[in-house]
Structure 1
Amino acid sequence: MPYRMQLFVDISTLLKPLADYAEILLHIKKTLSAEMSPIIVVGASYGGMLAAWFRLKYPHIALGEVASSAPILYFDNITPSNAYYDLVSKDFRDYLEFMYTGAAQYDDPQEYPVNKACEGIDGDSEGTYTLGRIFSGIVALRGENSCHDTCSEMVSPIGIGKNETMFQADPFYLTEYRDSCNKSFGVDIRVVLKRFGSNIIFSNGHRDPCSSAGVLENISDNIIAVTTKNSSHCLDIQPATEDDPEWLVMQRKIEMDMVHDWFLKYSADLLQN
């Protein structure tokens, strides 16, 4: 009879899936007779947040952790609610400028892209907000290609402040969010962020909107921030290719060198004991 682990059925909180991961990892180490082998947990975006919390809660299981593009600081009173959309606006500003100035500069009589864009903008129904009209203009030019944890454990107060981004205002209101959670799930919100621990790498690219809530500066000597100017979301943990730019290759090398140092220290500690 193969070994069967009794995993938690109810995954309505963050603690239970973390406990499941812990149980699985311990089982794998025991099955492979690898109890003394170190484990590095890796996660991207939300998974990076889980990986960081796993390292904090189970430091005896995970030797270290690499969190790529983890918006772990997107909590009330830490990161402004509209920070994500501020970066989105900056990323798209140059693109939109290129699209519309290009249409004006190369207004080919056979296609008249300016007319196309204007027809798309003017064709929207009355009351369409500005971003919707801009999108309609782009579609006319280029064509169109066709959770419970957020209430019970983790709240990222992402909102859009009035006139602060290119998006229609949609502020985050904690009271309304809490009432919605209570109505849907019968639970209130518990926001907990503990910044302690060791052997954690937070990697972020400044082009990624999630970096607005990422750890961009070292917290301690062994909770390290690795940042790059041009990287996008979770790019550093994507498969390497021959066309990768040098800065991306160096970012990965920095992260792997840190992990290697963790292994060396772990091995040295084993020899001393």
Structure 2
Amino acid sequence: MKWLVLQVILASLLLHFGYAYKYETYFYKQKVDHFSFVDPDSYSQRYLINDESWDSDGGPIFFYAGNEGDITWFAENTGFMWDIAPEFNALIIFAEHRYYGVSLPYGNKSFTEPKYSGYLTSEQALADFAELISYLRIALPGAKNSAVIAFGGSYGGMLAAWFRMKYPHVVQGSIAASAPILQFIDITPCEKFGQVVTADFARESSQCVEVIRNSWAAIDAVTADEVGMNWLTGAWKLCQPLKTQKDVQKVKEYLTDVWTNLAMVDYPYPAEFLAPLPANPIKVVCTHLTEPTLEPKALLEELFAGVSVYFNFTGKAKCLNADEAADSNLSTSGWDFQACTEMVMPMCYDGVKDFFEPSPWDFKAYATKCYESWNIYPRPLMAPMIYGGKDISAASNIVFSNGLLDPWSTGGVMWNVSDSVVSIIIPEGAHHLDLRSSNPDDPQSVIDARILEKKYISTWIESYKSENEI
């Protein structure tokens, strides 16, 4: 191969709810621009390997398409692959997405200006994955005839699906969990996402919904002057004092993310995916949000008790840092850039059918903010144009799974496209619950989903062996 692997191997352990996930870490030299014959730049892409269960005589490769964060974090939260690897005698690989984790093409300069950040695209990331797999088929004894099954959740699920569509000769099938490949302009209405978030809280109580709906006006009333800002700073134990209305807006944006994230990770058992949380975290939050008619300060004290479940369930936080992303395990710089280029996923709220502060979708304002932040303008129709949007009837061997508690399901494939591109609905499932490790508290719907996913994986592997006479 032209691009050689760097022989950097680190024995590692991931401890996850009693499981020990062992892997070795490697780095592979990738071209920064796969579509140019003249660009000499390269970077080191990190990937993780576990071969404990692998039958090196043609056993399959389970390949995780890394998404917007450190790859070790996704390895820790994708237990389904680890659970079923022994059953399939599979090799496990987690590949880090370019510009995330330590896979930074230009180091500290990677996000400084467009000439460096411009190579952060889904197309280049998929080319990385295809190049890496092609290398490993040759470099690993016994991998030449291995079927490759891609896995991914959320943006990683989008990549897993698109990987099969774009490189069907490289990957033989894909499990695309909570993959909102339809969450784009002119495909999915912008208001649907917030309505699902609100419905998740409404399942617990109407009072809980009303407290959150009334909280926006309460914040405005309390923070109308400096005295009120000082009060909220103290009452909410904010790490940074409120001094301007811009600071207040940051707090509101933080709250919007908190309510959204709680809907995403409303798992039936304790988990630490976006934050350390108890089982059924929305239920726990809503036990604090019971009196929607309180006067503003009392309402905000009640709201803070609910928010504390999210940011301080462990009791270790000394203050609430509204300047820090509510999902700090993800890379805010990388995803913010992608959201300003090809991953433009409109969101809007009306405060009536949802409990958010009213906020219409304003593409012009969105584009202006992107230019101010990154010196670029969005390409809102690019992803559907590249990958087909809803017109994916030519695809094959993809399972799209969606939990109905997950607001991202509004942009998911919720119907069977064909006999081999199928949809699995998990009524009690939050964000890619099926990719997590099995748990005694799993609902039957996710147990059934995993059984069906394993059936398709087995079919794809056997079909590949038959076609290649392995």
Letter in 1 for 2:447: V
Letter in 2 for 1:35: K
Which residue is 2:129 aligned to? 21
CA contact 2:405–2:427 (8 Å) conserved in 1: yes
Matches for 1:210-225 after TM superposition, within 5 Å = 210-225=408-423
CA contact 2:191–2:347 (8 Å) conserved in 1: yes
CA deviation string 1:173-197 (max 9, x = no partner): 1121122222322333222221431
In 2: Cα distance, 1:259 partner to 1:75 partner: 29
Which residue is 1:268 aligned to? 466
CA displacement at 1:44 relative to structure 2: 0.5
Letter in 1 for 2:302: G
Give the structure with the larger strand fraction.
2
Which residue is 1:81 aligned to? 190
Pick aligned residue for 1:6 from 16, 29, 34: 29
Which residue is 1:189 aligned to? 378
Identity %: 31
Provide TM-score, normalisation by structure 1.
0.81
Matches for 1:93-132 after TM superposition, within 5 Å = 93-97=202-206, 121-124=294-297
Q: Name whichever of 210-219 and 155-164 sits farther off.
A: 155-164
Letter in 1 for 2:295: D
Unaligned runs of 5+ in 2: 7-27, 33-104, 106-115, 210-288, 313-335
CA displacement at 1:121 relative to structure 2: 3.8
In 1: Cα distance, 2:301 partner to 2:412 partner: 32
CA displacement at 1:165 relative to structure 2: 1.0
Letter in 1 for 2:5: Y
| Larger RCO, structures 1/2 (Cα 8 Å, 6+ apart) | 1
CA displacement at 1:12 relative to structure 2: 2.0
Which residue is 1:105 aligned to? none
In 1: Cα distance, 2:434 partner to 2:355 partner: 28
Change (3 A) 1:228 1:118: closer
CA contact 2:427–2:445 (8 Å) conserved in 1: no
Say yes or no: does 1:50 pair with 2:159: yes
In 2: Cα distance, 1:142 partner to 1:262 partner: 45
CA displacement at 1:138 relative to structure 2: 4.4
Which residue is 2:364 aligned to? 175
Pick aligned residue for 2:348 from 150, 159, 165: 159
Secondary structure of 2:340 counterpart: helix
CA displacement at 1:245 relative to structure 2: 3.0
Say yes or no: does 1:236 pair with 2:434: yes
CA displacement at 1:136 relative to structure 2: 4.1
In 2: Cα distance, 1:143 partner to 1:51 partner: 35
In 2: Cα distance, 1:141 partner to 1:219 partner: 41
In 1: Cα distance, 2:197 partner to 2:361 partner: 17
Secondary structure of 1:152 counterpart: coil
CA displacement at 1:248 relative to structure 2: 1.8
CA contact 2:207–2:292 (8 Å) conserved in 1: no
Change (3 A) 1:64 1:269: same
In 2: Cα distance, 1:183 partner to 1:207 partner: 35
CA contact 1:162–1:171 (8 Å) conserved in 2: no
CA contact 2:426–2:445 (8 Å) conserved in 1: yes
Secondary structure of 1:12 counterpart: coil
Change (3 A) 1:93 1:65: same
CA contact 1:117–1:141 (8 Å) conserved in 2: no
Letter in 2 for 1:58: Y
CA displacement at 1:20 relative to structure 2: 1.4
Structure 1 vs Structure 2 CA RMSD: 2.8
In 2: Cα distance, 1:142 partner to 1:176 partner: 29
Change (3 A) 1:13 1:85: same
CA contact 1:74–1:157 (8 Å) conserved in 2: yes
In 1: Cα distance, 2:132 partner to 2:156 partner: 17
Letter in 1 for 2:469: L
Which residue is 1:59 aligned to? 168
In 2: Cα distance, 1:232 partner to 1:71 partner: 14
CA displacement at 1:143 relative to structure 2: 5.9
CA deviation string 1:124-155 (max 9, x = no partner): 39xxxxxxx4x643445896543211112211
In 2: Cα distance, 1:99 partner to 1:220 partner: 41
CA contact 1:79–1:212 (8 Å) conserved in 2: yes
CA displacement at 1:47 relative to structure 2: 0.9
Which residue is 1:130 aligned to? none
In 2: Cα distance, 1:136 partner to 1:155 partner: 35
Pick aligned residue for 1:30 from 113, 129, 138: 138
CA contact 1:73–1:214 (8 Å) conserved in 2: yes
CA displacement at 1:241 relative to structure 2: 2.4
Secondary structure of 2:5 counterpart: coil
Which residue is 2:63 aligned to? none
Count, aligned residues? 249
Which residue is 1:113 aligned to? none
Give the structure with the larger helix fraction.
1
In 1: Cα distance, 2:308 partner to 2:184 partner: 37
Unaligned runs of 5+ in 1: 101-115, 126-132
CA contact 1:201–1:225 (8 Å) conserved in 2: yes
Say yes or no: does 1:207 pair with 2:405: yes
